[in-house]
Amino acid sequence: MKKTIMLVAGCLAMLGMHAGYGLERDRTFTSADGTKTFDGYLVEYDSKRDAISVRKEGGRVIKVTLDKLSEADQEFVKENASALAASRDLRVRLEKYRDSSTIEKGEGTRSSTRVEGYNVSIENLGKEQIKYLDVRTTIFVRRAAEKGPDLIQREVDEQNIESLSGGRREKVKTKGVPVVRVLEAGDAGC
């Protein structure tokens, strides 16, 4: 019987200046007169039209002009306008890596352990320098259990990039996660 501990294909890179981190995830927006509210996630600010785009629960995006919002919401949008603009210029790519590998043989079993993680490449497609990027990654690992349901483990890592000039790319490497594969007698490859 195979007992496998495997890396679930999931790695999320969240950037401090990227729309979505550094900004509140969900925010309650209030109308200018204070009588109405709605919850959402600020995804864009258009300074020419003085309007925002907000993603509501369920994924629907609505557009609202700033004059329809409370002073506190208008201030929040203007404080975060540069982060939203920078997020449009960032491209993130993930590439899986393997660092080391070991094989152990026991009575009727063979196990291999390798350390895997991700190289995270962040590219600034814009012309302006972006400062103070926090790169936060979460790798989800499924740990197979002998009895009962498998366990999901999270490996969280955070790294900082002080600045990223326009047209430049920076790479960071996540912490490695041990991935173990156990084969018992009779399994292919044992």
Q: Which domain holds residue 143?
A: 3-17+88-184
**Do 115 and 132 reside in the same domain of the chain?**
yes
Angle 151-154-160 from CA coordinates, rounded to 5°? 175
Q: Is residue 189 part of a domain?
A: no
Q: How distant, in Å, are the alpha carbons of 16, 76, 80, 177, 187 from that of 132?
A: 7, 19, 14, 26, 50
Helix (H, G, I), strand (E, B) or coil at 23: coil
- d(Cα 118, Cα 128) in Å, to the nearest integer? 27
**Do 130 and 92 reside in the same domain of the chain?**
yes
**Do 98 and 142 reside in the same domain of the chain?**
yes
**Do 11 and 99 reside in the same domain of the chain?**
yes
Q: What is the 3-state secondary structure (H, E, C) of 137-151?
A: EEEEEEECCCCCCCE
Q: Is residue 22 part of a domain?
A: no
Sign of CA dihedral 73, 79, 83, 86: positive
Tokens representing 178? Answer: 């041990």
CATH number for the domain that contains residue 49: 2.30.30.700
- d(Cα 40, Cα 60) in Å, to the nearest integer? 10
**Do 102 and 31 reside in the same domain of the chain?**
no
Q: Please name the amino acid found at residue 36.
A: K
According to the model, what pLDDT value does residue 5 have?
A: 34
**Do 119 and 138 reside in the same domain of the chain?**
yes
pTM score of the predicted model: 0.59
Q: Is residue 93 part of a domain?
A: yes
Question: Of the residues 38, 57, 79, which one is the last residue of a structural domain?
Answer: 79
According to the model, what pLDDT value does residue 39 have?
A: 94
**Do 95 and 179 reside in the same domain of the chain?**
yes
**Do 119 and 167 reside in the same domain of the chain?**
yes
According to the model, what pLDDT value does residue 119 have?
A: 93
Domain total of the chain: 2
Sign of CA dihedral 88, 10, 112, 189: negative
- Could you list the pLDDT tens digit for every one of the 190 residues in the chain? 333 333 333 333 344 333 334 455 689 999 999 999 999 988 888 889 999 999 998 889 999 999 999 999 999 999 888 878 777 788 899 999 998 888 888 888 888 889 999 999 999 998 888 888 888 888 888 877 677 788 888 888 899 999 999 999 999 999 888 888 777 776 665 5
Q: Is residue 152 part of a domain?
A: yes
- d(Cα 130, Cα 40) in Å, to the nearest integer? 26
The H-assigned helical ranges of the chain are 71-79, 81-88
**Do 99 and 170 reside in the same domain of the chain?**
yes
**Do 99 and 10 reside in the same domain of the chain?**
yes
